Amino acid sequence: MISFRSAVGALYVAVALVLTLLIAVPQVRLYRDEQPRADIVGQLRFLRSELGSGLGEEMQAMFPEGYFFSYALYGLAWTDIARGDTTYRDEALREARWALARLESPAGKAIFDDSLRPAHGVFYVGWSSRLRGAVIELAGPDAPETVRFVADCAALAAAFDTEGPFLEAYPGQAWPVDSVVAVAALSLHDRIAGPPRFGTVIAEWSKSARTRLDPATGLLPHRAKPVTEGARGSSQSVIQRFLPEIDTEWAQEQYRAFRGSFVDIPLGLPGVREYPRGRNGTGDVDSGPLILGVSASATVVAIGAARVHGDRALAGPLTGLGEGLGVPVGAGDTKRYAFGLLPVGDAFLAWSFAAPSTAAPSYPPVVRWWWRMPWHVLALTIVAVLLLPAIRVVIRKPRRAGIRGSDPGRRSRGSYSVATRGRRAGAGRPRTRSAAAAHGNHDGPASALSPGDNR
């Protein structure tokens, strides 16, 4: 019967091996700089299940556009997947239309004011139009969504004509990033939905927006109303994702400025700062919590921005970082990150991973070639601490087994040596009076014998 001590030792060895595996796998995943399409689809299938179980409502309780983003990013990711692989076209159309229907529902419009221009504000109309246009791009210009798409784009164009480059998302509040998404929808319209009609509006918007850049960074500001706030990473990551759809040349200029001001490598790991170098601030609902100035949401969205700009020097390490430290878990045909505890994070990741990668002039490296090495050393140290006691347990077992398998009558070393040496010494000596006398044995009858009595 196995002893309690042996059982505990075996359990420790098993746990140590499992933990070693869990530590080793992320070290390998750090080298994955491209996400397989099947993995992204697995993420989307996980999200579909979560959305069907009330994810949108849960996320709405966490931040203002939680419901909207949960569905909008899910739909946009599916359309990007199908653009890269037409075998997913039917599934992508079905899922993107399902997501679009949720955006058009009362729950999707609940927080947006229909008195704004355009109705429900630029955030709602811009993002929903961009998704609707992506559906039409897959389905063709005769898709039933075309009529609504054209009407909403016309409403956006009219608002830009009269209200300026940065439209309101909520009464008295405007974020330039929302207008960038809306203008991208206008540009998409002119590519897929009949003869171009918004070229002048797009050109005027670009001209006006360039006069309102953040003087500290040369980038579009984070907020335009009620006060102007300088560029921030959480909005810049989205801006850099959509700006190439509007003006390719200007987008390259803006992206290089973004890269220089916001991409950082704290602790040797690549990330995107929420505030530009030389400026500090705290996290908020837009950025989430900051770690050494880095915003996780900005970093995730920057993967997609880097991909559309052809910046493999940034997209690759960020993808590897997400795979290595994001705790990806696969189950069946689904995949989730961080054990699926924050599914809206999976929505942003899937949308970023699905972004089409373009060819572009090479960008300088963001990280050193050895950027993964400190994390390997840390992992090896932890593994060594875990496995050393386990190795001792494994080595000790054969040694103990050898002792148990010896002569059961054998005494301990101390008793054996004393008794045995005594017997051997006595057996080799003559039993005579002289011998006894030599050893000082003068007691007993033998001491009374005369020398002649020894026969």
* Residue 23 phi, psi dihedral angles, 5° rounding: -80, -35
pLDDT at 405 > cutoff 80: no
- Give pLDDT tens digits for 181-221: 999 999 999 999 988 999 999 999 999 999 999 999 999 99
pLDDT at 241 > cutoff 90: yes
Q: What is the pLDDT of residue 70?
A: 96
- Give pLDDT tens digits for 148-182: 999 999 999 999 999 999 999 999 999 999 999 99
Helix H or strand E segment including 295 = strand 294-295
What is the C-alpha to C-alpha distance for residues 128 and 132, in angstroms, rounded to an integer? 6
Which two three-digit tokens encode residue 252?
Answer: 């390259």
pLDDT at 446 > cutoff 60: no
Provide the pLDDT confidence category of residue 25 given band limits of 50, 70 and 90: confident
Instruction: Give the highest mean pLDDT range of 198-212, 279-293, 311-325, 347-361.
Output: 198-212
- Distance (Å) of CA 168 to CA 43, 105, 156, 198: 33, 21, 11, 20
Mean pLDDT of 413-431: 46
* Residue 33 phi, psi dihedral angles, 5° rounding: -100, 5
Q: What is the pLDDT of residue 399?
A: 57
SS3 state at 336: strand
* Residue 336 phi, psi dihedral angles, 5° rounding: -145, 160
- Per the CB < 8 A criterion, the answer to whether 81 and 47 are in contact is no
Q: What is the pLDDT of residue 22?
A: 78
- Give pLDDT tens digits for 344-387: 899 999 999 999 998 777 899 999 888 889 888 988 898 888 88
pLDDT at 222 > cutoff 90: yes
Peptide bond into 226 cis (omega under 30): yes
- Per the CB < 8 A criterion, the answer to whether 148 and 156 are in contact is no
- β-strand 334-336 against 329-331: which pairing, if any? antiparallel
Mean pLDDT of 77-90: 97
Provide the pLDDT confidence category of residue 36 given band limits of 50, 70 and 90: very high
Angle between helices 121-139 and 176-192 (to 10 degrees): 30
CA dihedral 218, 220, 225, 227 (to 10 degrees): -20
Which two three-digit tokens encode residue 56?
Answer: 């949108």
What is the C-alpha to C-alpha distance for residues 6 and 29, in angstroms, rounded to an integer? 35
- Per the CB < 8 A criterion, the answer to whether 199 and 187 are in contact is no
Which two three-digit tokens encode residue 352?
Answer: 């970023």
Average pLDDT, the chain: 87
